[in-house]
Amino acid sequence: MRNILIIAQKETAAFLNSLIAYVVITVFLTGIGLFFWIFNNNILDTGAADLNTLFLLGPWFFLFLIPAITMRSFADEIRSGTLDLLLSRPVTIWQILWGKFLASCILVFFALLPTLCYYFSISWLGNPPGNLDTGATWGAYLGLLMLGCSFAAIGLFTSALTDNTIIAFIFGAFLCFFFYTGFDLLAELPIFSKWNEIIIKWGMIEHFRSISRGVVDSRDIIYFASISYVFLLLSDLKLSARKR
């Protein structure tokens, strides 16, 4: 556990000392802010005291921005040869993976933290003030955090596959897109009409919507935890094969 925390601390510091982390967080907050306050059907035009804009668009921003964060996690080290040096140290691949994963999750948390200003401002602007579904809001925040962590696990896996950061980003964004909404698209095909309800439950969007209703179901928590674990396990298998 100590090694994981040391690696997570080191990776978090590296993220925060790099330009890409600030670019990603700025793009996320600016994009959400524009849809909230400026673009058509913004909250001032509709008069709706809710955070639906954040929870509808947040996953789509994360779908591209999180792979951009994780694409360098292993790809750069594979290309530069530092990964072989890292694997030769008295630390397991599993610890390295969990350290990098924890650091990515911390960055997702940092990206979401400033959006609390939307929560407090909309709550204050409500009529009456405080007219906001708090349970659904915090449930949606938890869902968005877990979704972002699952995307991070996928991004780490694609970064472990190649030494090209662009390929890692494109493949990571594709897998995030597929697991988020791809199963819903498959369920709409006539060939899968008999199994559409089962197929939909394999997708992230169904479980994210479930949590966003404000009722935290253990099945949704287990789903996101399982996605993260499976992709970390696949990353471990890939990196272990490289170590042999």
Domain ranges of the chain: 2-243
pLDDT tens for residues 26-44? Answer: 888 888 878 776 766 666 5
Give the pLDDT confidence score for residue 118 in this predicted structure: 79
Tokens 């349970």 map to which residue? Answer: 135
Q: Give the whole-number percent of the chain exceeding pLDDT 70.
A: 89
- Does the pTM surpass 0.85? The reply is yes
Spatial CB neighbours of 129, under 8 Å, sequence gap ≥ 6:
123
**What is the distance in angstroms between the CA of the first residue and the CA of the last residue of the chain?**
24
Rounded CA-CA distance 2/203 in Å is: 34
pLDDT band, very low/low/confident/very high, at 241 (cuts 50, 70, 90)? confident
Go through 90-99 and write b for each residue having 16 or more CB atoms within 10 A of its CB, e for each that does not: eeebbbbbbb
- Count the alpha carbons within 13 Å of 220 in the hemisphere toward its beta carbon: 22
